[in-house]
Amino acid sequence: MTRPWAPAVLAVLALVLALAPAVGLGAGASGRAEGGSDWLLGGNRPEDYAVELEPDGGRLGTAAALLRSTATRPRGFVSVMRWIDAAPHRGERVRFTAWLQSEEVAGWAGLWMRTDDLDAPRQTLAFDNMRRRPVRGTTDWTRHRVVLDVAEGADRIYYGVLLAGVGRVRADQLEIEAVDPEQVPTTGGPRLPPGPKNLDFDHPPAAAGGRSEEGVGPPP
């Protein structure tokens, strides 16, 4: 399959990158950390969604990221995401928080975070995408969090906001920080072992398909 949506994706991505600093979408106080990425467009079906900056859509009247479905029956999911180097955080407990507001989300939305060991065989060490505590329907601004332990073998921490299915979700004040393990419980843990993939060759896993690994979040 060709990817006729590629230009649109790039346009949206460029928009996000251009405006991200203005919104304070950066990684807490550190902004774009050394050994990390900018905010990226992710997901496995970005052609069914739009990701925009709303200059005054934020919780306090400032800017917010808006993820919304554009297709009548959107497939897969879309995500705004970034990654940081996990090495400085090995052995730490890390919390990703953001404020989310949703409108008529018929699918689900949430924050997600995962830690990956990039050495072959590449594997995800810990993961949480709020699948079991999803944001649905119409909700006012609410602070959400995902908390993971960063294992010694972790090389990267990926995190972001995702929307799967029909709806609109706004995200504001995205922050990632180390927390006290005695005070803050984890919300996710070691990922279940990966099973067989793409056995019929028609369903490539989300991390594949010709796009860069950084451009793709976790399958919802």
Partner 1 sequence: MSRTAQSPVRRVALRLAAGGALLVLTSAQVAPPAGWEPMGWQTEAYEVRLDRGSGRGGTDCVLLRAHPDARPAEKSFAGVSQKVPAEPYRGRRLRMSAWVRTEDVTGWAGLLLRIDGPGREILAVDNMRDRRIRGTSGWNRHEATLEVPEEAEFVVFGIFLRGHGTVRADDFELDLVDPRVEVTQPPVEELRRRETSR
Q: Which residues of the chain form contacts with partner 1 (CB under 8 A)?
A: 1, 121, 193-202, 204-205, 208-209
Q: Which is nearer to partner 1, 29 or 199 (CB)?
A: 199
Q: Are 80 and 158 in contact (CB under 8 A)?
A: no
Q: Are 65 and 51 in contact (CB under 8 A)?
A: yes
Q: Which is nearer to partner 1, 23 or 207 (CB)?
A: 207
Q: Which is nearer to partner 1, 88 or 209 (CB)?
A: 209
Minimum distance, C-beta of residue 196 to partner 1, in the bound complex (Å): 5
E runs forming strands in 5-77:
40-43, 49-54, 64-69
Q: Which is nearer to partner 1, 85 or 214 (CB)?
A: 214
* Sign, Cα dihedral of 27, 124, 169, 11: positive
Q: Which is nearer to partner 1, 57 or 220 (CB)?
A: 220
Minimum distance, C-beta of residue 213 to partner 1, in the bound complex (Å): 12
Half-sphere exposure of 51 (CA within 13 A, CB side): 33
Q: Which is nearer to partner 1, 138 or 198 (CB)?
A: 198
Q: Are 127 and 191 in contact (CB under 8 A)?
A: yes
- The vertex-124 CA angle with 20 and 179, nearest 5°, equals 60
Q: Are 150 and 176 in contact (CB under 8 A)?
A: no
Minimum distance, C-beta of residue 205 to partner 1, in the bound complex (Å): 5
Number of neighbours of residue 182 by Cβ within 10 angstroms: 7
Minimum distance, C-beta of residue 51 to partner 1, in the bound complex (Å): 24
Minimum distance, C-beta of residue 171 to partner 1, in the bound complex (Å): 29
* Residue closest to 103 by CA, chosen among 133, 132, 146, 135: 135
Minimum distance, C-beta of residue 1 to partner 1, in the bound complex (Å): 8
Q: How far is CA 148 from CA 49, 125, 183, 207, in A?
A: 28, 10, 13, 21
Which two structure tokens, joined as six digits, stand for 104? 């008529």
